[in-house]
Structure 1
Amino acid sequence: MKTLIACLVVAAFGVGIGWKVNYERYGQYEPAFGPISYRGEIDASNAMASLQKQWSDKFPKVELPDGNVHDFGVMAPEETGEHVFVVKNVGEETLKLKVGASTCKCTVGELGSENLEPGEQTEVKMSWTVKTNESTFGQSAELRTNDPSQVAIRFEIRGQVVRQIQLVPEQVTFGEVAAGEDVEFSVKVYNYLGQPMRPGEVKFSDESVNEFAEFEVTPFEPSEDDGVNEAAEQGFQVTAKIKPGLKQGPVNQNIVLPLFPEADETDEPGKGRYVYIPVTGRIVGVLSMLPNSRLKGISGGGYMYDFGTVDDEESMTAKAFVVLKGAEQSSTKLSIGEIEPAEYVEATLNKPVGQGKMTLYTLQLKLKPGAENVDRLGMGKGDFGYVMIESDNPKVPALKLLLKFALSAR
């Protein structure tokens, strides 16, 4: 017990000595430059009170009575426009304004100092010129302020770009159409010319297509159903029908629509102007095939399957798909016709499967090595093998599939 008491006394004595040494060394430390103060008046004891005195609960505050976005509706390329935004100071201190980054012309009007006292307002005028090939247009301007809650205001203008004549759609793409089927489509033409349009005779730019084409032009009154083109002065719907007879292959044509009747002494300015409506698509045979990495269409019609040089069993077989389209598909059956060279090529057609407006046949191809080497890689004219896909319908012509291959003798 005496030992415990002695230990406590020694510990207490040690703590006391340690505190005294620390106090003497650091407790009375004086800063090298004296007590910290600001302007001889502010020190640690009164710093917070001084800051609170300098703080103010009065600020400028921005208000935008008409918002910061303007939709101008529709404009034509190269047309200029302007819009005035209003900025008002609803705070209790002076509001300072400065024009920042801008993608169009922006001016702050009325107050030359660009300072607004409480309750005052000014106009911010944005002006622009439509220069774009797109169907939409947008510009913005930034106004910087000393409002702590809104240090930058972004004004935006946006709208739709329309040409003097607007087409919907701007280009007709009818895809693939079987040779025995009609091609039908329509285009809406909207007039923003500033004068009445009187469409003349419509036709294709290629006379060979006009032989199979029929057109109808129907006027209509643009309405809210026409979206942004509700603002157009006039509307015309051009309906076209191309009857069977076009050659197989790609179609790249223009429909020519005269805006005014042929020139005469009474014609107003603008006579002789035309609208060109691009038309693209492809006329395919009633019989066609689905291309893949080895199966390609060839110039002049037909297809080619490229086996290449065959050196193993797996590469001697192939599968492709024959497509039957058009009104005759339900009354037509396909079969394998002539094969060349028949002793080295085998072809079979599986049962057809209906897929909406077309019927699919699976074509199985197999190469059969013989006693001699076979080279049908096309080094000479017509030096390919082939398989004929025949039909039992005289309205559906046969399809020729060329085969490119080389076989070693076995």
Structure 2
Amino acid sequence: MLAVIATLIACLAVFAWGVGQMPDVAKWTAQKPAATGDKPAEPATPVPPEHEHFPTNPFTPDKAATNQPKVQLPEAQYEFGRMALGKTGEHDFVVKNIGTAPLKLAKGPVQCKCTVSGLKEQEVPPGGEAMIHLAWTPKDIGPFAQVATIWTNDPEQDHFTVGASGTMYPEIQVKPDNGWALGPISNSNDVPLVGSLESPVIEKFSITKIEPSSDRVELEAVPYTAEELKEKDLLSGYHFLGRLKGIQNPSSIQESITVHTDLADHPKYEFPITGSRTGAVTIIGPTWFAGGPLIDLGTVSAEKGKEFKLTLMVNPGEEELKFTDVKINPGFVQMKLKPEQTGKELSRERYSLIITVPPGSPKGNWIASKPGQFLIKTNHAQIPELDIKLHLNVE
């Protein structure tokens, strides 16, 4: 069982029936009844600070006295059931004195890191009752059970406990909690948007409006069935079913959906939709710069040469990708395409693009003012030609 870090606030209100003015609560005493009218009362019991408690019973009952207090507690344990995380649960416990002498009460030990504050020294007259108010705000999800002890001067019951138990849930559960991050999208098909808004503690709420950022986005909210609520251990909830319409051309995706509810504490939820529509081909590697498009090989030794490897991702075509014609400036630079993972069942095929500056290459500089070039023709219907700039310094 998960303990709940809680704040227990117990305050005692005394209601006297048929009794005159109650003693001043600031003048708490734990006096034994005088055997005779001349015998003085015992000194007052020390009162701990508000946030502390008596570790042991501060009262010494006079068991020989004719008149005695007697505690009656109609309810000692309260089951809160489901509680929303961050909300405060409250309950009042009634303490009755069915004896014939005043009943005295004092704050005792509490569980865990909880505290009992606000319980000041009070006397409950014979036939009277007091109210102990418990309240706390849960900090952790899961079951909880907490108990507070109250000392008494009842010779037959020197203390009693009051407590509460229940289970903490998040008030609202949202999926996806950070919106839809779609990543790279390599085709023009619609992209499904699936999510939910649900509550284990709110019996009913409504989605009042759904606002997409553009007509490229669609979303509807479908209430859970009774069977779904039972299966998920929920009280209310909605499915989100929608789509991002297919995008033809490469571009960045920055959309959003705003869902409005009738919940005072949760009036709306913002769901960003992010991603990118990639082209039919994607090149990956430290020498690749998509903004060019550019392959920057840097400085290469003319004597030693150097080999570079990039990854090329493409949508599957009718057949395996091939370069049908390659023109390279400068002409001594070599390029080779090597299949790594191919097949029509894949969302993207993977190839290695191997570029070689061979040993003994002529020295020269092909940079921004006079770049080199890869002009490549392919057998792929979506990428018939690739025109890529080349930066290279051979020395």
Q: Same fold (TM over 0.5)?
A: yes
- How many positions carry a matched residue from both structures? 290
Cα distance in 2 for partners of 1:295, 1:371 equals 20
Larger Cα-atom Rg: 1
2:207 corresponds to which residue? 197
Matched, 1:281 2:275: yes
Cα deviation for residue 71 of structure 1 reads 7.5
Q: Which amino acid letter does the alignment assign opposite residue 390 of structure 2? A: L
Change (3 A) 1:66 1:397: farther
Cα distance, 1:187 vs structure 2: 1.8
Partner Cα distance (1:183, 1:389) in 2: 32
Contact 1:375 1:407 in 2 (8 A): yes
Q: How many angstroms does 1:349 deviate by? A: 0.9
Query: Does 2:383 correspond to 1:393?
Result: no
**Mapping 1:91-240, distance limit 5 Å:** 97-99=108-110, 102=113, 106-107=116-117, 125-128=134-137, 159-163=168-172, 166-170=173-177, 171-190=179-198, 195-199=205-209, 202-203=211-212, 205=213, 207=214, 210=215, 212-221=216-225, 223-227=229-233, 230-232=234-236, 234-240=237-243
Q: Distance in 2 between matches of 1:313 and 1:83?
A: 86
Residues 330 and 350 of structure 1: CA distance in aligned 2, closer, same or farther (over 3 Å)? same
- Which string of whole-angstrom CA distances, capped at 9 and with x for unpartnered residues, describes residues 119-173 of structure 1? xxx989451277xxxx95999989799xxxxxxxxx998733334xx53112212
How do residues 208-357 of structure 1 correspond to structure 2 at under 5 angstroms? 210=215, 212-221=216-225, 223-227=229-233, 230-232=234-236, 234-245=237-248, 247-257=249-259, 259=261, 274-291=268-285, 294-299=286-291, 302=293, 304-311=294-301, 316-325=306-315, 328-331=316-319, 333-335=321-323, 337-351=325-339, 353-354=341-342, 356-357=346-347
Post-superposition CA distance 1:240-266 (Å, at most 9, x none): 142132x42442321234558xxxxxx
Query: Is the contact made by 2:82 and 2:167 (CA closer than 8 Å) also made in structure 1?
Result: yes
Q: 1:161 corresponds to which letter in structure 2?
A: P
Answer yes or no: is 1:375 the counterpart of 2:385. no
What's the offset of the Cα at 1:183?
1.8
Q: Tell which has more relative contact order, 1 or 2 (C-alpha 8 A, sep 6+).
A: 2
Name the SS of the counterpart of 1:223 in structure 2: helix
Q: Comparing both structures, which one devotes a greater share of its residues to helix?
A: 1
What CA distance in whole angstroms lies between the structure 2 residues aligned with 1:142 and 1:397?
A: 76
What is the identity, as a one-letter code, of the residue corresponding to 1:346? Q
The letter of the residue matching 1:394 is A
Percentage of identical aligned residues = 14
SS in 2 for 1:350: strand
Q: State the distance in 2 between where 1:183 and 1:126 align.
A: 48
> Which position in structure 2 is the counterpart of 1:47?
none
Q: 5+ residue gaps in structure 2?
A: 1-55, 57-75, 94-105, 123-130, 151-163
One-letter amino acid matched to 2:306: M
SS in 2 for 1:329: coil
Output the CA distance in 2 between the equivalents of 1:390 and 1:242. 31
CA contact (8 A) 2:144 2:166 kept: yes
Write the deviation string for residues 75-122 of structure 1: whole angstroms up to 9, x where unpaired. Answer: 4x5x3234799xxxxxxxxx993358747x64486x959xxxxxxxx9
Contact 1:74 1:159 in 2 (8 A): yes
Amino acid at match of 1:169: P
Q: Which amino acid aligns with 2:347?
A: K
Unmatched 5+ stretches in structure 1: 1-59, 86-94, 114-121, 146-154, 261-268
Match for 1:74: what amino acid? A
The answer on 1:360 being equivalent to 2:350 is: yes
Q: Aligned partner of 1:224: which letter?
A: K
Q: C-alpha separation between the residues in 2 aligned to 1:218 and 1:112?
A: 56
- Relative to 1, partners in 2 of residues 1:342 and 1:83: Cα closer, same or farther, differing over 3 Å? farther
Q: TM-score, normalised by structure 1?
A: 0.53
Report what 2:62 is aligned to: none
Amino acid at match of 1:218: V
1-structure distance, mates of 2:148, 2:362: 86
Q: Matches of 1:255 and 1:96 in 2, distance apart?
A: 53
Q: What amino acid sits opposite 1:298 in the alignment? A: A
Q: For residue 11 of structure 2, what is the aligned residue in structure 1?
A: none
C-alpha distance 350-400 of structure 1, shift in aligned 2 (>3 A)? same
Cα distance, 1:375 vs. partner? 1.7
User: Hey, what's the Cα distance between the residues in 2 that align with 1:364 and 1:377?
Assistant: 20
Checking the alignment, whether the CA contact within 8 Å between 2:282 and 2:312 is kept in structure 1 is: yes
Cα distance change, pair 190–296 in 1 and its aligned pair in 2 (3 A): farther
Query: Aligned-pair RMSD on alpha carbons?
Result: 5.1
CA distance in 1, matches of 2:190, 2:144: 46
Q: How far has the Cα of 1:370 moved from its partner?
A: 6.8
Q: 1:83 to 1:397 in 2, by over 3 A?
A: farther
Measured in 1, the distance between the counterparts of 2:318 and 2:81 equals: 54
